[in-house]
Amino acid sequence: MRTTFGARGLEYNPSPDVVPNTMRALRLTELARELGRHEETHDRLMDAYWAEAQDLGDPAVLRTLAAEVELPRDEVEAVLDGDRYRERIEDSTRQAVSIGANAVPAFLLDRRLLVLGAQPEAVFEQAVARLEAP
């Protein structure tokens, strides 16, 4: 994985000792989505996990990251201290499982073809070719 990431100019350095419970992080990204800040928040969280070995299950880490992308502190606290967006995340998870997504990552291409797991570029090229075939 380190080589694959490196070939794309990305750093691969997740903590080998932490498998975070990401529910809070997912709920935080839903807040960011509502505020029109999803992409930058998602990117910051991914960098924190994959390159910086930060624990995305730790509320203190999430508070710091949310401040870095300038999410409103009071709303961040409400999300981290409660269950806001939990139902949305659970509904999305149920929907993903219902179409066969049983791995992370999972990519649904053109709402017709599901690609499971971290795959090499060639797999995605073949998938796109299948979608484009008559």
* CA-wise closest residue to 25 among 2, 53, 49, 7: 49
Domain 2-98 has CATH 1.10.490.10: no
SS3 108: strand
Q: List the domain boundaries for the chain.
A: 2-98, 101-134
pLDDT per residue as tens, the chain (134 positions):
888 888 888 889 999 999 999 999 999 999 999 999 999 999 999 999 999 999 999 999 999 999 999 999 999 999 999 999 999 999 999 999 999 999 889 999 999 999 999 898 999 999 999 999 98
What pTM, to 2 d.p., does this model score?
Answer: 0.85
At 106, phi and psi to the nearest 5?
Answer: -135, 135
